[in-house]
Amino acid sequence: MTIRAGLVGLGKIARDQHLPAIARTDGIELVAVASRNAQGEGLNNYPDLDAMLAGEADMDAVILCQPPQVRYQAARQAILAGKHVFLEKPPGATVSEVEALIALAGAQGVTLYASWHSRHAAAVAQAKAWIASRAIRRIDIQWREDVRHWHPGQPWIWEAGGFGVFDPGINALSILTEIVPEPVTMLSARLEVPENKDAPIGAALSMATASGAAVEALFDWRQTGPQTWDIAIETANGSLLLSEGGNTLRLDGEVQIKAPDEEYPAMYRRFVGLVADRAIDADIAPLRLVADAFLCGRHCPTTAFDD
């Protein structure tokens, strides 16, 4: 069976990643788009989710790519309509929203997929296997990128619930919670919030594994030039460096894997399998760490930032 899917929110991430990934994935077909400001070529177009659900009675799944502040209500509406739901990351504005969606999807017997695309980077699985048999001593994360490149003209990212620098930073936390074989706890956080914004432009996090290894993370949205997405791990038996968002792996300085970005096609293959089984995959561990950072964070005002 081919999944007939509708996509809500035809912005940059949808055009750059979702549309080409769906086109390359067997078992799923995009039939409709709901967007206030854009049109999908060769597709049935609707102004909003209400209209799309009314006009596509035989649609099987809904892919949600709107800002996280409105994702919960849209997901709830789609689930109650009997549709399988694919959530772009982060899966919701709060932990409790996602927990409620998990319970609702289970009760309705439909798939809910909280997609963490960085977990599907080429080197993540091998990094996880390498770490599993080693004692971690320290983890250092550097996640720096240019907000003007990745989120041009998107003011919602700076509003409450928009995550600010945690929108990319949660990708690092999704890898961290995937490859480390024990819980990670938040100890303290320093959040840089521009005086004219409601969400941070920078964050410095201190965390620890359950066995006591230090985990330090620095997120910054003011990077220019090459972007930095690195996770360095020191163990009792060697060192590991994941770079390029998890697509390059070095062990003791030697390159083991260097591969192109194929994260979104991998996620759609995963979604097709989940729908076949009517299964739920909605890990909230990365989102919980972000919530903990806001809960225990010290807000440090910084200069105004014009996006």
Same domain, 5 and 107: yes
Residue 87 CA to residue 108 CA, distance in Å, equals 17
Instruction: Please say whether the beta carbons of 162 and 284 come within 8 A.
Output: no
Helix, coil or strand: residue 165: coil
143 contacts 218 by C-beta, under 8 angstroms: yes
Co-location of 187 and 82 in the same domain: no
Determine, yes or no, domain membership for 65.
Answer: yes
**186 located within any domain:** yes
In the three-class reduction of DSSP (H, G, I as helix; E, B as strand; rest coil), residue 258 is classed as strand
Q: What angle do CA 195, 201, 207 make, to 5 degrees?
A: 120
Task: Evaluate whether residue 190 is within a structural domain.
Answer: yes
pLDDT, residue 116, reads 98
- The confidence score (pLDDT) of residue 37 equals 87
Kindly state whether residues 48 and 186 are assigned to the same domain: no
Closest CA to 175 of 247, 118, 256, 133: 118
Is 74 found in the same domain as 10? yes
Distance in angstroms (rounded) separating the CA atoms of residues 37 and 32: 14
Burial code (b: 16+ CB inside 10 Å, e: under 16) for 122-153 equals bbbbbbeebbeeeebeebebbbbbebeebbee
- Count the residues in the chain: 307
CATH of the domain at 76: 3.40.50.720
Q: What is the pLDDT along the chain (307 residues), one digit of tens a residue?
A: 899 999 999 999 999 999 999 999 999 999 999 998 889 999 999 999 999 999 999 999 999 999 999 999 999 999 999 999 999 999 999 999 999 999 999 999 999 999 999 999 999 999 999 999 999 999 999 999 999 999 988 899 999 899 999 999 999 999 999 999 999 999 999 999 999 999 999 999 999 999 999 999 999 999 999 999 999 999 999 999 999 999 999 999 999 999 999 999 999 999 999 999 999 999 999 999 999 999 998 877 777 777 7
- Owning domain of residue 234: 120-258+289-300
> Is 265 part of a structural domain of the chain?
no
| Same domain (yes/no): 125, 237 | yes
Nearest to 25 by CA among 267, 229, 259, 205: 267
Residues 84 and 195 both lie in one domain: no
Q: What is the CATH number of the domain that holds 250?
A: 3.30.360.10
Condensed to tens digits (0 to 9), the pLDDT of residues 186-219 reads 999 999 999 999 999 999 999 999 999 999 999 9
Domain termination site, one of 81, 113, 145? 113
Shared domain for 124 and 247, answered yes or no, is yes
Task: Give the tens place of pLDDT for each residue, 63-109.
Answer: 999 999 999 999 999 999 999 999 999 999 999 999 999 999 999 99
Whether 267 is in a domain gets the answer no
Q: Is residue 266 domain-resident?
A: no
- Domain boundary at 80, 113, 146, which? 113
Last residue of a domain, one of 91, 113, 135: 113
- Is residue 189 included in any domain, yes or no? yes
Residues 126 and 225 in one domain: yes
Q: Which residues of 222-260 are buried (b: 16+ CB within 10 A; e: fewer)?
A: eeeeeeebbbbbebeeeebbbbbbbbbbbeeeeeebeee
Give the pLDDT confidence score for residue 53 in this predicted structure. Answer: 98
Catalytically annotated residues: 89
Number of domains in the chain: 2
Q: Would 227 be classed as within a structural domain?
A: yes
State whether 199 and 254 are in the same domain: yes
Q: What are phi and psi of 57, to 5 degrees?
A: -60, -30
